[in-house]
């Protein structure tokens, strides 16, 4: 019986050897979020300079909430493609 670690290493070796640059460009990006005990956003990745961390989190929740995964310890992350991240980070026309 093979351990999960051995399986993960073999899978990584296979994907690294046969992965095209196009599929690497479409690999998911994880946007990590950390929350304060009062549930406000302490830190969030890829935050556009024109938004506060809280505004960026609310935009992501409104437009990509189904891609958010909650983790223990006041953390979570969004799993987005590069194209999705670019579209979400673009300034919105008023």
In a domain, 70, yes or no: yes
Q: Characterise 88 by phi-psi region: left (phi > 0), alpha (psi -120 to 50), beta (else).
A: alpha
**Number of domains into which the chain is organized:** 1
Residue 16 lies in a domain: no
Q: How far is CA 67 from CA 30, 58, 94, in A?
A: 10, 13, 26
12-46 in b/e form (b: 16+ CB < 10 A) is eeeeeeeeeeeeeeeeeeebebbbeeeeebeebeb
The residue segments making up the domain with residue 45 are 25-89
Q: Which pTM value belongs to this model? A: 0.71
Tens digit of pLDDT per residue, the chain (94 long)? Answer: 444 334 333 444 444 455 555 566 789 999 999 999 999 999 999 999 999 999 999 999 999 999 999 999 999 999 999 999 999 999 876 5
């Amino acid at each position: 019986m093979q351990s999960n670690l051995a399986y993960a290493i073999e899978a990584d070796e296979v994907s690294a050897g046969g992965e095209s640059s196009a599929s690497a460009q479409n690999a998911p990006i994880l946007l990590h979020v950390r929350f304060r005990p009062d549930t406000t956003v302490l830190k969030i990745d890829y935050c556009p300079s024109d938004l506060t961390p809280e505004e960026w989190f609310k935009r992501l929740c409104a437009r990509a909430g189904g891609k958010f995964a909650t983790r223990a310890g006041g953390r979570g992350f969004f799993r987005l493609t590069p194209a999705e991240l670019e579209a979400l980070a673009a300034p919105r026309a008023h």
